[in-house]
Structure formats: structure tokens, C-alpha cells
């Protein structure tokens, strides 16, 4: 019973902060930022393949968009859920933009091209841990693995967020798991 009450108080505090931020209270929004930045950064870092600079940029962009779109938050879910989905959409949008740009640019070297288009480097260190294995996955497979296995989204939700078919989401998850097993078993 105590944990339920604590959860309600926390949810009520979050609701009050959101309402205050909607009314222009930047201090309330700053508190929402501080309460959520680490979890959102972790998600973005994984989606970005361990690129800390890109993850930080996307974190800032996510919170800028959250501030701009705060009026569109209807309260049908928790603010953290809404923010989480917004951050995923920011990351996916950024990836689409980067992929279009890469298609028009001549890469400076093979490493830059591999990072930009998400091709898996088949030469892996035998001592690679799970995080490093995830980072090395192709971008689509990595995104689905993170959203499904780590963040708990369903395939239908992943399909909606990424614009891929549900079957493609399932196939990418299978591919990601297989590639990780290969890397960790080698």
C-alpha cells in the first residue's frame, strides 16, 4: 500500500509540474528535465550506437520539442511515457535525415561510412560486452532490439514509430538477437 501511495504522489507531482510548465513555468519544466534526462539519454545513447555526442544533441532536441509540444500532451498516459515516445521519434527522424544526407555525400573514410549507415563491423573483440555488441548492430536491428527488449514496446508500437511493418519489426528483432549471439559466442 505504501508503494502505491508513493507512486500516486510521484504521479501527482509530475502532473502538477506538467501543468505548471504548460502555464509557462520554466522552473517546473527544468525539474521535469532533471527527473527524466538520464533515462532518456540512456535510450538515445543506445539508439545512436553509443555515440555520446549525438545522444546529447538528441536529448536536447527532445526536450526542446517537449517544451514546444507540451500543449499537445493530453495526459492519457504519464508524462514520462509521452516524453519517451517523443525522444524515440526525434532519434528516428534524425536517423532518416542522416541516411538521406549520407546518400548524397561522399564518405571521408570507411569508418565514417560504416558509422553513418549502420553496417555491422564483422571483426569483433572476443571480450565484447552486451552494450558493445548492441552498438555494433545495424541501425534498424539495434533500434528494434532496444525498443522491444530493453524499453518494452510491442511490435505494433515499434512499427508505428519506425514506419516499418510489424513483420519487419519481428524480423529485425530476430536478426539482432542472432547477431548478438554470434558476437558473444565468438
Distance CA 163, CA 60 (A): 24
Looking at residue 90, its pLDDT comes to 95
Residue that is last in its domain, among 87, 119, 151: 119
Query: 115 and 61 share a domain?
Result: yes
18 in any annotated domain? no
Looking at residue 70, its pLDDT comes to 94
Looking at residue 126, its pLDDT comes to 38
Query: 41 and 113 share a domain?
Result: yes
Query: 85 and 142 share a domain?
Result: no
What are the distances in angstroms from CA 94 to CA 48, 174, 179?
Answer: 10, 24, 25
Domain count, the chain: 2
Using DSSP, how many helices (H) and how many strands (E) does the chain show? 9, 0
Looking at residue 86, its pLDDT comes to 95
Looking at residue 114, its pLDDT comes to 44
Query: 129 and 90 share a domain?
Result: no
13 in any annotated domain? no
Residue that is last in its domain, among 119, 143, 161: 119
Distance CA 59, CA 77 (A): 21
184 class by beta-carbon count within 10 Å (0-12 exposed, 13-18 middle, 19+ buried): middle
CATH code, 94: 1.10.1740.10
7 in any annotated domain? no
Query: 114 and 126 share a domain?
Result: no
Query: 51 and 104 share a domain?
Result: yes
Q: Please give the grid coordinates belonging to residue 142.
A: 539495434
19 in any annotated domain? no
Looking at residue 17, its pLDDT comes to 95
Looking at residue 8, its pLDDT comes to 47
30 in any annotated domain? no
Query: 99 and 147 share a domain?
Result: no
CATH code, 142: 1.10.10.10
Distance CA 150, CA 20 (A): 31
Kindly state the helix (H) or strand (E) to which residue 50 belongs, with its residue range: none
Low-confidence residues in the chain, pLDDT < 70:
1-11, 101-129
Query: 101 and 141 share a domain?
Result: no
Looking at residue 151, its pLDDT comes to 87
Name the pTM for this structure. 0.64
Residue that is last in its domain, among 119, 137, 159: 119
Instruction: State which residues form the domain around 139.
Output: 121-186
Amino acid at each position: 500500500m505504501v508503494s502505491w501511495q508513493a507512486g500516486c504522489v510521484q504521479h501527482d507531482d509530475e502532473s502538477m509540474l506538467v501543468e505548471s510548465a504548460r502555464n509557462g513555468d520554466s522552473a517546473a519544466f527544468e525539474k521535469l528535465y532533471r527527473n527524466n534526462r538520464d533515462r532518456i539519454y540512456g535510450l538515445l545513447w543506445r539508439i545512436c550506437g553509443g555515440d555520446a555526442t549525438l545522444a546529447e544533441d538528441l536529448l536536447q532536441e527532445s526536450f526542446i520539442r517537449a517544451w514546444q509540444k507540451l500543449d499537445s500532451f493530453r495526459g492519457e498516459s504519464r508524462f514520462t511515457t509521452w516524453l519517451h515516445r517523443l525522444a524515440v521519434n526525434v532519434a528516428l527522424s534524425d536517423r532518416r535525415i542522416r541516411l538521406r544526407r549520407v546518400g548524397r555525400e561522399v564518405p571521408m573514410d570507411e569508418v565514417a561510412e560504416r558509422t553513418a549507415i549502420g553496417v555491422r563491423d564483422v571483426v569483433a573483440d572476443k571480450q565484447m560486452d552486451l552494450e558493445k555488441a548492441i552498438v555494433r548492430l545495424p541501425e534498424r536491428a539495434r533500434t528494434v532490439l532496444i525498443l522491444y527488449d530493453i524499453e518494452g514496446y510491442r511490435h505494433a508500437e515499434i512499427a508505428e514509430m519506425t514506419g516499418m511493418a510489424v513483420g519487419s519489426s519481428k524480423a529485425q528483432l530476430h536478426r539482432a538477437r542472432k547477431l548478438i549471439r554470434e558476437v558473444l559466442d565468438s
